[in-house]
Structure 1
Amino acid sequence: MEMKEFWTTLATLMGAWAFFRGILYTILPPELRLASLKLFHRLCNWCSAYCYFDIAEIDGVNTNELYSAAQLYLSTSAASATGTTSSRRLRLTRATNSSAITFGLANNDRLVDVFRGVPVLWEHVVAPRQSPNFSWRPLPEEKRGFTLRVNKKHKNLVLESYLDHIILKANYIRRKNQDRYLYTNSRGVSLDSHARPWESVPFKHPSTFETLAMDPAKKQEIMADLKDFSHGQSFYQTTGRAWKRGYLLYGPPGSGKSSMIAAMANYLGYDIYDLELTEVNNNSDLRKLLMKTRSKSIIVIEDIDCSVNLTNRKRNNAPRPRPNPNPSPNENGQSGDDNGNSVTLSGLLNFTDGLWSCCGSERIFVFTTNHVEKLDPALVRSGRMDMHILMSYCSFPALMILLKNYLGYEEGDLDEAVARELEKLIEQAEMTPADISEVLIKNRRDKEKAVRGVLEALKARAERVRGNMEEEEAQEKEQEQEQ
């Protein structure tokens, strides 16, 4: 009986509303009705504590880049972890040239994101397109967009910071999800021809900072520096500096310099250009190669001390040779007097820090060497190589990372006595991560055998190091006695 009365009352109210609405449409002209409706909406907005922002997929006939950025941003695990959705349905997508699968909001679903402690409600609004399409460009059958709701007192935060944060995060996700490439300069190709100066292959190196065998504190310092660089566009523009940075990786062979470069590329989502200086004819070709590199890339010159002769600079007070008025061309048709067939230190310095280094942005130069003492000080000074990173012998924290990577050992899994012995020997043995990795690979199917193998290798190397030190001390004493 109560339900019957409820439905009767509801039908009476709906009939009364329809009757009242019909009278209004008869008495009030359309202009007054529209003005009344606008006034009603303004009153509701004035009384509401929230403001709304609409981000449509199509702006006129052009695609709205902010809509695409919002899609990528909301697909991140960070946004989904801090937010809550009204349903468990998510839309899965995979972009072209990407192996990563991302998720996003389903149609007309909601998500709450938190930015600097401020909750922001997102709603993915999808509705059929009712207006006819008279554009030369076919539009989708559905109108798609995001509605962003935030408290009015945080309106400026959204307009000044939040939207910029979304765009930066989306660009990072886009780079990270896309396949990266490893480039090398083509051998024997003249840059004056139509041949491609760079050849590329997909870059699939698995090295990351998490798996890199290195002191954790040093890794955090490098990661913070890389992140600060990639987010520093406004800083470099304000200070008038070229948006580039240089890293010098030095240390013994097998210390992980190449793995560090791969980890940097995977961390930033950059391509790698592996420049082989011995294949570059002269300084002019070196500049042209630089001009044909893309932004957001890492330009690498490995074993810089072995690539070209960079230590024989002439002193300022040395007399300069008088040029030959009739130079004879060499076998390549170039004059030998103007260094036309070689890369000079001056050309390399201009490549990294001169005017030509500014053609492009967001690029990192990385030099590697096993003998840093052989490099000219002008090549490794600040401004060219901003950060010097010593890739030294394996330390105990680096050893624990290797044991985790190869054997699955977590902190505390090792016997305390074995851990103490490893820590004692690793400081004396002077073994590189590559040396220890080789021992672990051979015995990876037996964890205990692998640890014993590492202990035996460390003991043998430590004894050899002590023997070399004693021999060197004996030789020094003999030389002192002879003198």
Structure 2
Amino acid sequence: DNQWKEHGYRKIRSFNSVVLKKGEQERILNDILTFKESKEWYNDRGIPYRRGYLLHGPPGTGKTSFIQSLASKVKMNVAILNLSAASNDDSLSSAMAQLPKSCILVIEDVDHYQFDEGLQEKKDDSKANKKNSSSVSVSGILNAIDGIASLEESIIFMTCNDMNRIPPALIRPGRIDVKLHMGYLDDYQAKLIFWRFFCMEEKETS
């Protein structure tokens, strides 16, 4: 029905509850804060007031959790777009036109979708791909994204495991401004997580 459905409220996720590689959390947060303070700069130059991010890497590395923690930090809601729920390009455009204001739009697992024929080669016919097939075209997604530029503070996050499986037009500069690889834990992350879960708890109970 092309409408956004509210799935209730989640407990606010602390920004510090997610640990990325050294300096990366702060880099993305500062980029968003700078964007939110730059509306006049965008308008003066006739540039669509939106910012796009791509988080890519293996499953289970905290991509969605990081987005949730960022949304809490900058006090914005999260709207998750399921491309397979859109029946066609018009359906997608209609849904995007009703996107709630001042929210972060999230398109998860973009590399898992199989888009309308003729705009991207069909992937294999595995059950996983059939499940995530979409009747929207790449151009339909691009038009829908371009159509939300008039909304205040348009922030888009895409996630994927393999960015090489995404149509290049979806993640070119201007649509995706920042790409961040989220891999498995390094020593810095492991030590910080251990300290936060065990050392802080011991300190609080002593």
TM-score interval (norm. to shorter)? 0.7 to 0.9
Aligned match of 1:342 in 135, 144, 167?
135
So what's the TM-score if we normalise by structure 1? 0.37
What residue ranges of structure 1 are gaps of 5+ in the alignment? 1-188, 192-196, 316-340, 414-483
What residue number does 1:450 align with? none
State the partner residue of 1:388: 179
- Residue 278 of structure 1 aligns to a residue whose secondary structure is helix
1:405-424 → structure 2 map (5 Å cutoff): 405-409=196-200
2:67 aligned to 245, 261, 266, which one? 261
Report the Cα offset of residue 264 of structure 1. 1.5
Shift of residue 208 of structure 1? 3.1
Residue 161 (structure 2) pairs with residue 370 (structure 1): yes
- Write out per-residue CA displacement over residues 332-370 of structure 1, whole angstroms, 9 at most, x where no aligned residue: xxxxxxxxx920000011122x3x122312021111001
When the two structures are superposed, what TM-score results if normalisation uses the length of structure 2?
Answer: 0.84
- Match in the other structure for 2:188: 397
Distance (Å, rounded) in 1 between the aligned partners of 2:120 and 2:161: 24
Unaligned runs of 5+ in 2: 122-133
Contact 1:303/1:369 (8 A) holds in 2: yes
- Written as runs of structure 1 = structure 2, the 5 A alignment for 1:150-165 is none
Once the 2 structures are TM-superposed, how far is the Cα of residue 401 of structure 1 from its aligned partner?
2.4
**1:366 & 1:275 partners in 2: Cα distance?**
10
Identical aligned pairs, as a percentage?
A: 27
- Could you give the per-residue CA deviations for residues 66-117 of structure 1, whole angstroms, max 9, x where no partner exists? xxxxxxxxxxxxxxxxxxxxxxxxxxxxxxxxxxxxxxxxxxxxxxxxxxxx
Higher-Rg member (1/2): 1
Is the CA contact (8 Å cut-off) linking 1:311 and 1:374 kept in structure 2? Answer: no
State how far apart, in whole Å, the 2-side matches of 1:254 and 1:314 are. Answer: 27
Q: Given that residues 246 and 366 in structure 1 are in contact (C-alpha distance below 8 angstroms), is that contact kept between their aligned partners in structure 2? A: yes
Counterparts of 2:99 and 2:8 in 1: how far apart (Å)? 16
Alpha-carbon shift at residue 207 of structure 1 (Å): 2.9
Deviations 1:37-70 (A, max 9, x none): xxxxxxxxxxxxxxxxxxxxxxxxxxxxxxxxxx
What SS class does the counterpart of residue 273 from structure 1 fall into? strand
Greater fraction strand: 1
Output the CA distance in 1 between the equivalents of 2:92 and 2:4.
12
Higher RCO structure, 1 or 2 (CA under 8 Å, sep 6+): 2
What is the CA–CA distance in structure 2 between the aligned matches of 1:312 and 1:264, rounded to whole Å? 36
CA distance in 2, matches of 1:342, 1:248: 23
Query: Aligned partner of 1:233: which letter?
Result: K
Partner SS for 1:349: helix
- Give the CA RMSD over aligned residues: 2.3
Q: Distance in 1 between matches of 2:120 and 2:101?
A: 34
* Distance of aligned partners of 1:259 and 1:372 in 2 relative to their CA distance in 1, 3 Å threshold: same
Q: Which residue is 1:281 aligned to?
A: 87
**Cα displacement string for residues 306-334 of structure 1 (whole angstroms, at most 9, x for unaligned residues):** 1332796369xxxxxxxxxxxxxxxxxxx
* 2:159 paired with 1:360: no
